[in-house]
Structure 1
Amino acid sequence: MALPRVLICGDIVWAHEETQELLGSISKVIRMDSPDRADFLNGLKPGGKYEGIVGIYRHNTSADRLGIFDAKIIDALSGSVKWIAHNGAGYDQIDIAACKSKGIIVSNTPGAVDDATATTGLYLLISTLRQFSKAERNLRSGSWKSGLAPAHDPSTKTLAILGLGGIGFRMAEMAHALGMRILYHSRHERRDVPSWCEYFSVEKLDEMFALTDVLSVHIPLKKETEGAVGEKQIRALKKGAIIVNTARGKVIDEHAMIRALEDGHLSAVGLDVYPNEPEVNPRLLEFPQVTLLPHMGTETEESQRKMEVRALTNLRDYLTTGSGKDIVPELQSKSRL
């Protein structure tokens, strides 16, 4: 009996041995070698080089050649495809509704990126409060400490976490160790977190924002969360507040954020993500107090390896049991398979 065919779509950098261990004996591993989207779509047709695949390992680097896994790509997948194991916590590059309509399950890699993304957020928080990014640029240009406004100790400030998932909670733990007061809002109050995490329901969001010195954003990008941090939410923050974003650029109304920087309602922002990456709004470069990173959140060897292994394990579990872990929330149900 022929082994099921699985497609590796995108980079595997660290987990080469694990790929063989997890999939080598139970599947025929096919490497996606299409130079562009047209070739990929052609390979999915009957008789094409990707015919008969049952599962896909997907990394965002595949978008450089194929674009995102939008409805056109999902619709082109044959009925044999039942599982897409996405490498990443965020899965906005996959059309989940299209997958659901075709009976394709999508898994992601929550937890694997918690430490790396949270430490990125912590750096942005400290850099903006202490003006370290601007100070380093001063030093490199020979201007030493000129033009630096008074900085702030984190221990005197209140941090609000918008979305207390794995990354948000790790950020909360790190900031709490600095002596910060921790507030949070999520869809539901968490019963498994310490009492120093103070919960605010959706009805009390304005109250939370009014107490906030630093807002750290950790909500996933979906149609309903685009622009979730908009003019109203930004203006509800304390005057002089800071926004840190390590989630997705589009969850913040960038124009509203820039207006608040212009008039001083926001004293600074720390960003690792942008609405149209790798493009960065040139207006952001005009604010010396802003700290900007080129989406470095998960760029550690340890996190990258954990993400690769977790995605591969999800694919292995589907092949061996017909099910698997880490199914994205939109596709979770008792009758999903």
Structure 2
Amino acid sequence: MSSRAALLIGKITHARKEWESLSSLLQLKEYGTGSRQDFISKLKGGDFNDVVAIYRSNDSTKVTGPFDKELVSSLPASLKYICHNGAGYDNINVAACSERNIGVSSTPLAVNDSTADTALFLMLGALRRITIPFQNLRAGAWRGSNFALGHDPKNKLLGVLGMGGIGQAVAQRARAFGMQIQYHNRNRLPESEEQGAKHVTFDELMRTSDVISLNLALNESTRHIISRPQFEIMKDGVVIVNTARGPIVDEAALVEALESGKVFSAGLDVFEDEPEIHPALMGNENVVLLPHVGTSTWETQRDMELLVLENLRSAVEGKGLVTPVAEQKGK
């Protein structure tokens, strides 16, 4: 048996056989349930001193808490890689990992299609304010007295904030509905990746878009990047779609914009303090709400697990991480 080990935190559901096949390379250890205090105690007690790679996920944060500076400082000296299951990794302090020369990977490629599908579902639902007739019908009121016309996506200008893999997949789908596409990234994409989308400044995207799709990572520079000043310069009747991370939007400011009519409707899969949702959003019929299910398909969940294991295997075989996080690319 190898003197090196890999540690699985939480569960692996769809690629258990592939995880177990790593036993030819590494001793396999698992920490399926427990608490942050217990986990740190085991780290300090030397239980995982042979671990070179960790498989963790957003869900496993419930088990250990976030991989913040405190937890990272307790990780064994043997650890070289954290292979994370999730496109977002804001619950990992990457800077603290980099200080200790720990490589971090995520699963950006595997989530693109299902997250983009969810964004389009929310966008179409928000344009049609689908919650109103949906609730009326379920209540036995057919269309009800509060039924109102929605909008077609055709000829609307979609502003994609964050034109990475998911943003590009959103744009590709939106074109099929006759939408025009513009986007903002800090750096313009190569023309071959724009697929006809127009690169604009952040303020221009805020001012001119009919629909704004948020597809960017959460970090200190993007937290509340959409707040009162941004809502003030948006078009009257704008539609907001968020499948990225809740804290990208100042939720209180969004509530104000919805109640004033500045925002026609919103489609939200993520929330600032999830699983808690602002009561005014819950009570607003113009909002389409989902409980962070953007990647919740059998196919995507399996692809994500397989990509984590591909990163782990590649790393321990000396080939490096396949999909390192952006902050560590090229290092």
TM-score, length-scaled by structure 1: 0.94
1:50 aligns with 2:79: no
Q: 233, 237, 241: which one pairs with 2:234?
A: 237
What is aligned with 2:223? 226
Please state how far the C-alpha of 1:165 moved relative to its aligned partner.
0.5
Q: What is the distance in 1 between the residues matched to 2:111 and 2:305?
A: 11
Aligned-pair distance for 1:322?
Answer: 5.1
The within-5 A match list for 1:147-226 is 147-191=146-190, 192-200=192-200, 204-226=201-223
Letter in 2 for 1:216: S
Q: Given the alignment, which residue of 84, 95, 98 partners 1:86? A: 84
How far the C-alpha of 1:41 sits from its partner, in A, is 0.8
Q: Residues 49 and 77 of structure 2 are in contact (CA less than 8 Å); yes or no, is this contact kept in structure 1?
A: no
Residue 37 of structure 2 corresponds to which residue in structure 1? 38
User: In the alignment, which residue of structure 1 is the partner of 2:8?
Assistant: 8
Displacement of 1:133 after TM fit? 2.3
CA distances 1:106-157 after superposition (whole Å, capped 9, x unpaired):
0001110001100110000000111222211110011221212221111131
Task: State whether residues 9 and 54 of structure 2, in contact with CA within 8 Å, keep that contact through their aligned partners in structure 1.
Answer: yes
298, 308, 313: which one aligns with 1:311: 308
d(CA) in 1 for partners of 2:33, 2:207 = 51
Alignment deviations for residues 260-291 of structure 1 (CA, whole Å, 9 cap, x no partner) = 11111001111000111111111111211100
Deviation, structure 1 residue 63:
1.5
Would you say the 8 A contact 1:181–1:196 is kept in 2? no
Alpha-carbon separation, structure 2, partners of 1:194 and 1:179? 16
SS at 1:142's partner residue? Answer: coil
Partner residue of 2:68 out of 70, 90, 100: 70
CA deviations over 1:216-240 (Å, ceiling 9, x no partner): 0011000111011121222221100
Q: CA separation in 1, counterparts of 2:316 and 2:162?
A: 33
Displacement of 1:3 = 3.6
Matched, 1:278 2:278: no
The answer (yes or no) to whether the contact 1:5–1:30 under 8 Å persists in 2 is: yes
C-alpha contact 1:127 1:133 (8 A) present in aligned 2: yes
Alignment-derived partner of residue 118 in structure 2: 120
- TM-score, length of structure 2 as denominator length: 0.96
Amino acid at match of 1:105: G
How far did 1:195 drift?
Answer: 4.5
Structure 1 residues 200-255: Cα deviation after superposition (integer angstroms, max 9, x where no partner): 1xxx3332322211100011000111011121222221100010000000011111
What residue identity is the alignment partner of 2:54?
A: I
CA deviation digits over 1:24-53, x for unaligned, max 9?
21111101145111111111124x332221
2:156, 2:232 → 1: CA distance? 18
SS of structure 2 residue aligned to 1:80: coil
User: What does residue 142 of structure 1 align with?
Assistant: 140
3-state SS, counterpart of residue 223 of structure 1: coil
Aligned-partner Cα distance in 2 for 1:59–1:207:
36
Counterpart code for 1:274: F
Among candidates 272, 292, 298, match of residue 301 of structure 1? 298
Q: Is the 8 A contact 1:100 1:331 kept in 2?
A: yes
Amino acid at match of 2:171: A
Q: Judge conservation of contact 1:55–1:315 (CA < 8 Å) in 2.
A: yes
Whichever residue aligns with residue 133 of structure 2, its letter is: A
Q: Secondary structure at the match of 1:243?
A: strand
Q: Which runs of 5+ in 2 are unaligned?
A: none
Q: Aligned-pair distance for 1:81?
A: 0.5
Counterpart code for 1:243: I
> Given residue 59 of structure 1, which amino acid in structure 2 is its aligned partner?
S
Letter in 1 for 2:153: P
Contact 2:48/2:76 (8 A) holds in 1: no
Q: Calculate percent identity across the aligned residue pairs.
A: 40
Determine whether 1:59 maps to 2:57.
yes
Decide which moves more: 54-63 or 160-169. 54-63
Structure 2 Cα separation of the partners of residues 194 and 72 of structure 1 = 41
Cα deviations across residues 56-84 of structure 1 (Å, max 9, x unaligned)? 00112211121111111100001111100
Q: Distance in 1 between matches of 2:93 and 2:229?
A: 29
- Runs of 4 or more consecutive aligned structure 1 residues displaced over 4 Å after TM superposition: none
- With 191-200 and 240-249 compared, the bigger mean Cα shift is at 191-200
2:238 is aligned with what amino acid?
A
CA distance in 2, matches of 1:2, 1:12: 22
